[in-house]
Structures are given as C-alpha cells and as structure tokens.
Amino acid sequence: MMNGLSYVATTAGGPWATYLEQVERVVPYLGHLARWAETLRRPKRALIVDIPIEMDDGSIRHFEGFRVQHNLSRGPGKGGVRFHPDVTLEEVMALSAWMTVKNAAVNLPYGGAKGGIRVDPKTLSKKELEKLTRRYTSEIGLIIGPDKDIPAPDVNTNAQIMAWMMDTYSMNVGATATGVVTGKPIELGGSLGRLKSTGRGVFVIGREVARRIDLQINGARIAVQGFGNVGSAAAELFAGNGAKIVAVQDHTGTIYNPNGLDIAELMATLRRDGGIAKCPGAEVIPNEQFWDVETEFLIPAALEGQITPERAKRIKTRVVLEGANGPTVPEADDILTNKGVLVIPDVIANAGGVTVSYFEWVQDIASFFWSEDEINMRLERIMSEAFRKIWDTAQEHRISIRTAAFVVACTRILQAREERGLYP
C-alpha cells in the first residue's frame, strides 16, 4: 500500500516507502489493534521552516528546515537533527517513524520525532553554522520542549550544535532548560557514556545474538561501513573482546586486512585524517568490493538504503547488525533472510543512543547525575531485556527479527493509542 498523503511524493524504494512496507508486514500480527494501524502511516505533525541567515560575506541565504513528530501516544517526541544536503521531508518523516518504533521497541516513554536542515555543514564557517542552528531552533521552538519533543545529534550534528540549540531555546523561554535536547556537552547537563552509547548498544545486541546462535565473538570477523561515533565505538568494543575488524569503509575509501586491522592504528588515523583510508597495515580496495568480504558480522553504520538487492546477493556474513537507520531496503531484507543471514534491525541494534539520551533527559529533570559505570550497566540491562522480548516474539511467530521488533513496538504504540482514545 503506497502512501496516500498529499503533501509528500513517496519515492519508490525511498525511506518512507520502506517504512510503509515494514508496517504492512506487521499488520497481520496486531490482532484487534489492527484497526488503529492507519495511525502508524500518518505523521502527527510535520513542520517545514525557512531559515534565513546572513553569511560571512554579507549575502543572505535561505535553507530548508524540518521537524516531524510522527507519534506522541507514549510520551514526548524524541529523535535527532541531521544537517545534510540531501535531507527531504520524506526522509525526515521516515526517520521520525523509525524513532517511534525504536522507542517503543526498547520500551522508552517516548514517541518518535526527527529533524533536519538541507545543508552541507562543511561549506559553512563556525559562525554561520551557529547562526543556522540558532535560527532553526527558534523556528521549531513552537513544538519542541523538555515535555514536548527532545532533539538530539544525528548525521553531521554534535554536542556543540546541541549546546547552541539548548541555549537558544532557553533564551526564548527565559530559563535554562537543559532537558530540551540530549547529546549535550557534559558541562551543560550532558550524560557520561552518551558519545559511545549507540556503538556500545550495537555491541551488546551483537553479543546477545552470538549467544543465541552459538557464535564466538572471539575470533569473529567484522566489517564496518561508516566509521563515525557508531561504527568506531562498535569496532573498538568488538576488537576488545577478541574479534577481528577485517574491513572498514567510510567517506575516504575502503580498507581491508584478512588478519584484522589494528584498532589503535585505525583510531589514530581517524583522529589525524578525519577518515580511515590511509591506515597503515591495510590494503585499499574498491568501495564496491566491501560487500564481497567474508565475515561473521557486517555492521552498516553509515546512511540509509546501503544494502540494495544487488549487494544483498553478494554479502557473505552470518549477522547484519544495523548501526545506521534504514540501511537495508525491504527486497534486500528478503534476499538476506532467504540466504540464512540474520538481520538485526536498526530499531533494536542502534537503540543504545536513544537509551542513553533517555538517561540524560532523566538526569537533567532530576538534576542528579549518574556514574559512567551505572549508565553502561543500565544500558546493557534495558537493551538485553528488549532484545529478549523481540527474539522470543520472532521464535513464537516464526518471523524475522525486524518484523518481530515491529510487532512488539507497534503493539505498544497502538495499545497506548487505544487506551488514550480519540480526542474530542
């Protein structure tokens, strides 16, 4: 069923179409809650804003900004803000919908939201970036807030962007509101463990999967696409537990070593060059060959839509751990499943970030902060329990882990919708 919304043209194979297809696969398992399923196919609120700023050269430029709140039945919106030249309303809608599912899958008291600006931040000076961030925050200030919708970092945004967002919102409401965003600097109410939390969550879920399919992490071969916060943190934790990182791809290229790359060298190269292509002791291979490398775990941790049907046919791995949002298109999902590859979906695999964002929000509201050990322990417990529920659901219905994650999440979302009823 294609999208019936008039305000966005759904691209075949695009992120919103992918999300809608995932919803269709879940409906047969929703029982009496299926009557509410249309709720999942329609964002609650979509805000499009114009962001005019004065550039350093005195010219005026306008940028498109978005904030979509997909569903708020279970609590305030929660989801990142990305700065990328290819950001569209359709993409932000899909990402907000996946956040709704992700928050419910991990059982956090949030709905799903997402934001973005169509911009290449590398082309802006720091001053221009600050102006862009502050004006965007003012424009979406109508719908965000600690008890309404809590943004966080995403692609090309970081703790500094969150600090500017928090400050702008605070100036507009006349009081310091640390809880309006998460992923902030520690000095401004940020949480210990937040930076590496998504990658840590990927590792925790990988370990839970390995236990259930009798796969040893020690000696396992890992390929990682994308070596930002998520990919690098996951790689460090896997390597620290005896796994071999045999291939890494990022925006600078693809490197390979069948005996395992030196993780310390990888991290040093990343810090020095901002990319991994010149890492010592590695062979540079063509980007497409990345998908041919034999592994036990493949971790796509870059952008959505990376695992296409053509690439799925070539992938030789036991487990795909989705560090990125929406990296596998539905047709590729089916190909991998038919090949016996276990695909662990983004909505559980990369939920470590939003889980620690939740901890940050709770700490800000209480003005009481936890130790990093406490945070990591709570993260592991929440993610392990969430995965157990999803794994058991998959076994019970003999369905994929992705469909099981959606069954668990959508049941929680629609139960909340049903119990709240319709107003008025």
Cβ–Cβ under 8 Å, residues 251 and 240 = no
Whole-angstrom distance, CA of residue 139 vs CA of residue 146: 16
Q: Which of 290, 329, 257 is nearest to 19 (CA)?
A: 329
Is 114 a catalytic site residue? yes
- Strand arrangement, sheet containing 244-250: 283-285, 253-256, 244-250, 221-225, 297-300, 319-321, 342-344
Among 216, 248, 395, 406, which residue's Cα sits nearest to residue 323?
A: 248
Dihedral of CA 324/329/332/336: which sign? positive
DSSP assignments along 367-414, one per residue:
T----HHHHHHHHHHHHHHHHHHHHHHHHHHT--HHHHHHHHHHHHHH
* Cα–Cα distance measured from residue 361 to residue 366, given in angstroms and rounded to the nearest whole number: 9
Which entry of 114, 131, 196, 244 is annotated as an active-site residue? 114
Nearest residue to 393 via CA among 401, 381, 382, 383: 401
Give whole-number Cα distances, 305 to 13, 22, 84, 93, 115, in Å.
Answer: 8, 14, 15, 15, 19
Give the active site residues.
114
